[in-house]
Amino acid sequence: MNQKICCICLLFLLAFTSALIPRQKAPDWRAVGVIDGESKEISLEDYSGKYLVMLFYPFDFTYVCPTELIAFSEEYQKFKDLSAEVVAISVDSHFTHLAWMKTPRNQGGVGNLRYPLLSDLTKEIGESYNVLVQDKEDELFGAHLRGLFIIDGDKTIRSIQINDAPVGRSVHETLRLIEAFQYTDQHGEVCPANWKKGDKTIVPDQEKKSSYFSEVYREEL
């Protein structure tokens, strides 16, 4: 009995310690991706020096998934303007990705996306990023949750968002976060709640921060 309890505790400990958090290095990966109707091998290393958005999603030919991928594709130039790239990844094969991209959008397909769709057929990438559903009783067993990872040019994770399957993610919030992280990278100041480009920022110093707070909170509540 004691041995069984120890094994269970060890499994929980391993699960906890393997969980990714911002400021950690992103796990390396290499996968077959589809872009412009062609398949090719793509790796995390290919995006060194750039911000990268990794979009994990459950399956091709589903419901919320095509709306997300199309939305990110339609705003792709805004990511490029920030020297950022986008990849999307599911457990489907690259053949399934090709078929989905050849399916018209008015029939549930995604059409010609402007960024790669990656195949995590072995499920190793989803597992390393802690987005793989591993509960055999779950209807999404073996699929990815809606994980969104923002990774900087040094391959450091800056943001993690994981949604349950029924709700899609916001392209505009993703762009806002990249702009904010890049601003802090360049200026050393920090971005307050709901910050957007052009807004006032905070100097992370106990004395200098007062210039922000005295201007924003002019009256004591």
On whether the pTM is more than 0.75, the answer is: yes
- The answer to whether position 217 is within a domain reads no
- Please report which confidence band the pLDDT of residue 221 belongs to, taking 50, 70 and 90 as the band edges: low
Strand partners, 30: 43
CATH number of the domain that residue 122 is part of: 3.40.30.10
Task: Give the pair of three-digit tokens for residue 55.
Answer: 């979009």
Q: Rounded CA gap, 75 and 114, in Å?
A: 9
The residue-averaged pLDDT of 9-34 equals 78
Q: Rounded CA gap, 176 and 216, in Å?
A: 20
Task: Give the pair of three-digit tokens for residue 91.
Answer: 């457990």
Q: How does pLDDT run across 155-206, given as a tens digit for each residue? A: 999 999 999 999 999 999 999 999 999 999 999 999 999 999 999 999 999 9
Q: Rounded CA gap, 150 and 85, in Å?
A: 10
- The answer to whether position 209 is within a domain reads no
Determine the structural domain holding residue 122 and report its residue range. 20-170
- The answer to whether position 3 is within a domain reads no
Q: Please count the structural domains in the chain.
A: 1
* Cα Rg of the chain (Å, integer): 20
Category of 216 on φ-ψ map: left (φ > 0), alpha (ψ -120 to 50) or beta: alpha
Q: Is 80 exceeded by the pLDDT of residue 51?
A: yes
Q: Is 90 exceeded by the pLDDT of residue 14?
A: no
Q: How does pLDDT run across 65-120, given as a tens digit for each residue? A: 999 999 999 999 999 999 999 999 999 999 999 999 999 999 999 999 999 999 99
- The answer to whether position 15 is within a domain reads no
**Going along 75-145, which residue ranges are E strands?**
84-90, 117-119
Read off the amino acid at residue 91.
Answer: V
- The answer to whether position 58 is within a domain reads yes
**Going along 104-202, which residue ranges are E strands?**
117-119, 146-151, 157-163
Q: Catalytic site residues? A: 65
Among residues 31, 53, 57, the alpha carbon closest in space to that of 132 is found at: 57
